[in-house]
Amino acid sequence: MASKKQVEAKALKLGAQFSVDSNGANLGAPAGMIFEGYHAIYSPFYLDGKQSVWDEFWDYLKNLEACDYALCECANQKVGA
């Protein structure tokens, strides 16, 4: 189980974007990376509760993949760039 603080620290370390507001949380992949095919993930808190959001985001951060889509703007960027 991951906490919001752990997710935020890991996102910062990896160069990902992380934000939380009253409706939910946003997680943006670092430059040149994707989360299971997505550059950004939005999760509203009301679906399964906040803990499931932090656990889901933690899994996404542990399983980053390089974006190799030829037409994607991030394709030639490096992580943290």
- N residues, the chain: 81
Q: Cβ atoms within 10 A of the Cβ of 44, count? A: 10
**pTM assigned to the model:** 0.80
pLDDT band at 80 (very low <50, low <70, confident <90, very high): very low
How far is it, in rounded angstroms, from Cα 49 to Cα 68?
33
Tell me the backbone φ, ψ of residue 24, rounded to 5 degrees: 175, -165
Q: Which residue has the higher pLDDT, 80 or 74?
A: 74
The arithmetic mean of pLDDT across residues 22-31, rounded, is 89
pLDDT at 29: 92
Q: Do 65 and 36 form a contact (C-beta atoms < 8 A)?
A: yes
- Model pLDDT for residues 33-57, shown as the tens digit of each residue: 898 888 998 988 767 778 889 999 9
What was the pLDDT predicted at 81? 39
Cα–Cα distance, 29 to 49 (Å, whole number): 22
